[in-house]
Amino acid sequence: MKDLGLDSRNPAIVAGAEALSFGINLPADRALKKINNLRYAFEEETAWWQSVALALGWSPYDVNIDTFKKEESRIKTKGLKKKKIKKKTIKKK
């Protein structure tokens, strides 16, 4: 979350917007979702019909845009490594 900073896709920012919406009835989460939808709509990988649907209010999930693959390529984590699992064999006597 620290790597993203003040990005609209940062989970901490999204949680803060939802807290504002819940706490003082300010629709910050809806505005943030609309900003994210428009960001996805103007990316080169989206088809024209997906861009239109995103601009009209559908979520990226509804129009089959895989947001996890895009975020994995954009965000690089530090210090996390995949461990290799060694297979153990049972020896018979």
Per-residue pLDDT of the chain (93 residues; tens, 9 = 90+): 566 677 776 878 888 888 988 899 888 888 888 988 898 888 888 889 999 998 998 888 888 887 656 555 555 555 556 666 677 777 776
The total of structural domains in the chain comes to 1
**What domain range includes position 15?**
11-74
Burial of 68: CB neighbours in 10 Å, binned 0-12, 13-18, 19+: exposed
pTM of the full structure = 0.60
Angle among Cα 63, 66, 71 to the nearest 5 degrees reads 135
Picking from 81, 41, 76, 77, the residue whose alpha carbon sits closest to that of residue 57 is: 41
CA distance 92 to 69: 45
5 domain-assigned: no
Report if residue 29 sits inside a domain: yes
Query: Of 37, 67, 34, which Cα lies nearest the Cα of 51?
Result: 37
